[in-house]
Chain A
Amino acid sequence: MTEGSELRLRVNGTWQDVRATPDDTLLDVLRRELGLFSCRETCGIGLCGACTVSRDGKAISSCLVLALAAVEWNITTAEGLVQAGQLHPVQQAFVDAQAFQCSFCTPGFVMSLAAMLAEPPEQRSVEAALSGHLCRCGSYGQITEAVRQIMADNDMHQEG
């Protein structure tokens, strides 16, 4: 039985009742209570990017925020980007470019790039989106390739 009090979070489009203690991070609760294992702790101090989730469309480190603070938010994880079995375009681009090796960091990269794509075009910065993410396997070349594909596809849709 998990300690703490009951709390309602909106995650991946669904209201979820979870239990959380005051010192639980959002990362703790997403993993322990909801089994959303795409968010992972590598550093626990907001530097590696592996725990990235979307808060109302913005990428945040879920290890740095308390679960109790997240009650008003609309939270999306990499699991929640999949719609009707279809990968999000960023996920598809990562598959097409094979932009991963051990893949522990991958959902974090995906979440930041998806959040960037949701921004108005003039505010998008690939550099900013990628800057908070570490890939120790060094898949950077293929990640850059995936980003190129994402941006090219996006420009095409904009023009279309």
Chain B
Amino acid sequence: MIGQSAQVSDAFERVTGRLGYVINHEPPGTLHLALVRSDVPHAEIRSVSTAVAQRCRGVVLVLTGEDLKGIGIRPRFGPVYRDQPVLAIDRVRYVGEPVAVVAATDARLARAAAAEIEVEYHELPAVFHPKDAIAPDAVILHEQTDEQGPKFADIILQGRKGNVCNMFTLRHGEGLDGFRYADRIFENEFVTPPVQHVSMEPHAAVAVFESNRLTVTTCTQTPYAVRDALAYMFDMPASRVRVIVPPVGGGFGGKTYAKVEPVAALVARYTGRPAKIVLSREEEFATNSKHQSIIRLRTGVTSDGLLVARQVDALFNAGAYSDISPRLIKNGGYGAIGPYRIPHVHVDSRAIFTNLPSSGAFRGYGVAQGAWAYESQMNIIAAGLGIDPVELRRRNLLGEGDSFATGETLHDVHFREVFDDALSLFDTDTDTDAAPPEHDYIKRGRGCAVIIKSTITPSTSNATMKVNVDGSVQVLTSTVEMGQGSHTALAQIAAEALGIPYHDLQMVGPDTDVTPYDLTTSASRSTAAMGEAVRDAVAQVRQQLVTHAAKQLKIAPDDVEMRDGVLRQRGTEGTLSLGQVVSGSKLGTMTATGSFVSEGGLDAATGQGIASHHWHQGAVAAEVDVDIRTGKVRVTRLRACAYAGNVVNPVNARMQIVGSIAFGLSQALFEQIIYDNGHVANQNLSEYALAGRVDMPADLQISLMENSETTEIHGLGETCLPPVSPAIANAIADATGIRCLQLPMTAERIINLAAEQ
């Protein structure tokens, strides 16, 4: 079962269009919401005139930030600091910030009424770039430190001052003093732009307030975090808030934590009617994005190419509200160190408030920004020292039992094998591949990159297994199925552990009334962490089944054998089915909940401790053709390798890597949100360029490095994403001598850099 490409159980619904996404949900009497959004980046709100909108046809309710004062709700939310108002209160901090909501009987009528609302602003100076935002005279977005939300064991809050939202520091070895051991010091600044998740399904939620209970159907990746945020907002016990998550149309991090749920719940609470919100693509761009980063990387090396010291000074653009930036800068901070033995490390990583939409979790979670810096710089160092870049990496890669810069000892370390596997792209040139480019204006080059990425630690997952009286089996989890195939993988794990066919098992959830707590569906953690919880649940259910079968057979439990979904007395023919055992037990159902809880955490001052339960290890080798007349880059061949431990479902695992390559390639060559005085200038697919099918490498090789000696599962959702951009950059430099320090590597940028040469 494990190791087979079991088919998705709802494939019929997926190809016929019958999958029940949130946007299909509409209880009778539903009100549709339209938001009035700020068209200025930073201002005090003088007045919001809603009189005309109130009288518009179909309008049931109009609310503004003023209406949220003194009505017994807590109108701000946020996973770490509760700093984001459901509707702007007194002040707007970015273009696109919701200022008012209109609820009407029809979505069109809601939009028409929203267009009648006029807002008078007193504009304030605005700041958009993190460097400008930390300048001494910069306008400050948040005058006081906002109320802190639930404590996360892995988030250290420190350094909040001015526009600094949070800071992560790491000091390892002698820190900056370690540079005295260096023969040469390389220093570069690397930049990545804000980019959008562009999940095909937009954010959407349907909220119902009934019998003093709130039920929200939403496409979140974090059902329990959304439940708790709503319970706090309405001062209700969590037991009276229910979050249901149907299949999600892509998340990529953009659907973690509350986003559109609070405003839908607010309207449902006010009106007593179901309230539905679906964002347009343009609104998606004002909701969430990947952090723009500016990473100054200083690296000391010996003349024979050993890294001895590294200083990381990272600025991440948080936008106007904290969202999960306080955590992301930690991952982005130690994520800029790389999979190398570096004895002396000094990291300062900061999240900076600016007058832009909030940044949040994005596939790669800060590590993609860090890898862009260090894997680009490895080639700069190699060129500076006259050492082959592959050789330079081999001299420094971490090995089994080495310590990472957090001080933790690494186990199950395979960086060298993963790196060599990716590089095998270049040993097997077929005739076509070996053929030189057709024209002399096409320059061909090769590049590689290798990365280390953590998974969220500490973390908790629970899974419940339920065996019914007819012998049918359900697995209840709060893992969100968003296309990554986790439900299929978890069903395979459960079916194998119980010894029943995969198709006989039904996955249930997420539904916070029914399915047990899980931290989040993100960080490439579900198959690994929830998989462990599932195995624990099955082990407990098996024990119950054996105990009750022993009673029924009047034998000792040790004499009961359970195999292929049936129980029997060892050495005899007669069997008891699962249903017979449950029936005989008189329990009605046999249920057990299993858990996975990982430990860890880092010291606030030094960043030393346990950063990750296990480490994701990935590498990419790429070959590019660069047209030096136009600057256009084509990735012709690419090989990605991930350390995969034990692969549960090869086809799904492979698709996660292919998806990571598509994501990485798109960001390497095309993607950037362009802001013009805080306004998104490219807020739909007409101007926001994405890689499509034709941009994918003609020769794309995916390698899952398995380890037959382990049952440990390694997450694969992100592992091969961070190395894509630097591998392509290194290939472009190899082909043309042009070194991009900034993403994306558009034709325009390449041509401009060529002109400077």
Q: What is A's interface to B at a CB cutoff of 8 Å?
A: 1-3, 21, 23, 35-45, 47-48, 50, 77-79, 81-82, 87, 91-92, 94-95, 98, 100-107, 110, 127, 130-131, 133-144
Contact B200 A104 (CB under 8 A): yes
Select from chain A the residue with minimum beta-carbon distance to B485. Answer: A101
Contact B201 A94 (CB under 8 A): no
Name 15 extra pairs, CB < 8 A, besides A100-B483, A142-B651.
A3-B106, A23-B108, A37-B24, A40-B200, A44-B684, A101-B485, A101-B655, A103-B247, A104-B201, A105-B200, A107-B15, A136-B250, A136-B252, A137-B655, A138-B659
* Interface range, B side: 35 or more
Query: A3-B108, A102-B249 given as contacts; is B694 within 8 A of A95 (CB)?
Result: no
Contact A79 B684 (CB under 8 A): no
**B576 near A: Cβ within 8 Å?**
no
Contact B21 A139 (CB under 8 A): no
Contact A103 B249 (CB under 8 A): yes
Contact B15 A94 (CB under 8 A): yes
A6 to B577, CA, bound (A): 58
A69 to B8, CA, bound (A): 38
Contact B200 A139 (CB under 8 A): no
A131 to B693, CA, bound (A): 8
Contact A91 B693 (CB under 8 A): no
Contact A77 B17 (CB under 8 A): yes
- List 5 tightest A-B contacts by C-beta distance, closest first: A38-B17, A102-B483, A138-B662, A104-B249, A101-B483
Contact B685 A45 (CB under 8 A): yes
Query: A104-B250, A137-B250 given as contacts; is B15 within 8 A of A91 (CB)?
Result: yes
Contact B281 A43 (CB under 8 A): yes
Contact B16 A79 (CB under 8 A): yes
Select from chain B the residue with minimum beta-carbon distance to A130. Answer: B693
A43 to B482, CA, bound (A): 19
| Selected contact of B693 from candidates A36, A45, A101, A143, CB within 8 Å | A143
A143 to B659, CA, bound (A): 12
**B430 near A: Cβ within 8 Å?**
no
**Using Cβ atoms and an 8 Å threshold, which residues of chain A touch B108?**
3, 21, 23
B476-490 contact mask (Cβ, 8 Å, vs A): 1 or 0 = 000000111100000
**B18 near A: Cβ within 8 Å?**
yes
Some 10 contacts from A to B, beta carbons below 8 A apart, are: A45-B686, A77-B17, A78-B17, A81-B16, A95-B11, A95-B12, A101-B484, A102-B250, A105-B200, A130-B693
Select from chain A the residue with minimum beta-carbon distance to B13. Answer: A103
A102 to B249, CA, bound (A): 5
A131 to B106, CA, bound (A): 34
What is the CB-to-nearest-CB distance from A73 to chain B, in angstroms, rounded to a whole number?
19
**Using Cβ atoms and an 8 Å threshold, which residues of chain B touch A142?**
651, 655, 658
Contact B200 A131 (CB under 8 A): no
**B700 near A: Cβ within 8 Å?**
yes
A131 to B252, CA, bound (A): 23
Q: Is the interface of B mostly helix, strand, loop or mixed?
A: loop
| Selected contact of B201 from candidates A3, A39, A40, A141, CB within 8 Å | A40
A79 to B5, CA, bound (A): 26
Query: A87-B15, A95-B15 given as contacts; is B249 within 8 A of A141 (CB)?
Result: no
**Using Cβ atoms and an 8 Å threshold, which residues of chain B touch A141?**
654-655, 658, 696, 700
Select from chain A the residue with minimum beta-carbon distance to B652. Answer: A98
A137 to B690, CA, bound (A): 12
A81 to B12, CA, bound (A): 12
Contact B11 A139 (CB under 8 A): no
Q: B689-735: which have CB < 8 Å to A? A: 690, 692-694, 696, 700
What is the CB-to-nearest-CB distance from B507 to chain A, in angstroms, rounded to a whole number?
16
**Using Cβ atoms and an 8 Å threshold, which residues of chain B touch A137?**
200, 250, 483, 655, 659, 662
A79 to B19, CA, bound (A): 11
Contact B200 A79 (CB under 8 A): no
Select from chain A the residue with minimum beta-carbon distance to B25. Answer: A37
A133 to B200, CA, bound (A): 11
| Selected contact of A50 from candidates B14, B200, B655, B694, CB within 8 Å | B200
**B23 near A: Cβ within 8 Å?**
yes
A131 to B201, CA, bound (A): 20
Contact B200 A100 (CB under 8 A): no
**Using Cβ atoms and an 8 Å threshold, which residues of chain B touch A82?**
16
Q: B186-211: which have CB < 8 Å to A? A: 197-202
**B316 near A: Cβ within 8 Å?**
no
**B280 near A: Cβ within 8 Å?**
yes
What is the CB-to-nearest-CB distance from A12 to chain B, in angstroms, rounded to a whole number?
11
A117 to B712, CA, bound (A): 45
Select from chain A the residue with minimum beta-carbon distance to B10. Answer: A103
**Using Cβ atoms and an 8 Å threshold, which residues of chain A touch B652?**
98
What is the CB-to-nearest-CB distance from A86 to chain B, in angstroms, rounded to a whole number?
11
| Selected contact of A110 from candidates B15, B201, B660, CB within 8 Å | B15
Contact B659 A100 (CB under 8 A): no
A154 to B10, CA, bound (A): 26
| Selected contact of B684 from candidates A1, A36, A43, CB within 8 Å | A43
What is the CB-to-nearest-CB distance from A48 to chain B, in angstroms, rounded to a whole number?
6
Contact B651 A104 (CB under 8 A): no
**Using Cβ atoms and an 8 Å threshold, which residues of chain A touch B21?**
37, 40, 104
Contact B696 A38 (CB under 8 A): no
A82 to B11, CA, bound (A): 13
What is the CB-to-nearest-CB distance from B717 to chain A, in angstroms, rounded to a whole number?
11
| Selected contact of A98 from candidates B17, B651, B660, CB within 8 Å | B651
What is the CB-to-nearest-CB distance from A44 to chain B, in angstroms, rounded to a whole number?
6
Interface centre among A100, A130, A140, by most B CB within 10 Å?
A: A140
Select from chain B the residue with minimum beta-carbon distance to A50. Answer: B200
Select from chain B the residue with minimum beta-carbon distance to A97. Answer: B651
| Selected contact of A103 from candidates B14, B106, B197, B694, CB within 8 Å | B14
Query: A3-B106, A103-B19 given as contacts; is B685 within 8 A of A134 (CB)?
Result: yes
**B374 near A: Cβ within 8 Å?**
no
| Selected contact of A107 from candidates B17, B105, B660, B662, CB within 8 Å | B17
Contact A100 B16 (CB under 8 A): no
| Selected contact of B199 from candidates A92, A98, A100, A136, CB within 8 Å | A136
Select from chain B the residue with minimum beta-carbon distance to A47. Answer: B685
| Selected contact of A106 from candidates B15, B280, B658, B692, CB within 8 Å | B15
A78 to B12, CA, bound (A): 11
**Using Cβ atoms and an 8 Å threshold, which residues of chain B touch A79?**
16-18
A143 to B662, CA, bound (A): 14
Contact A101 B659 (CB under 8 A): yes
A131 to B695, CA, bound (A): 11
Query: A44-B280, A140-B662, A141-B655 given as contacts; is B17 within 8 A of A39 (CB)?
Result: yes
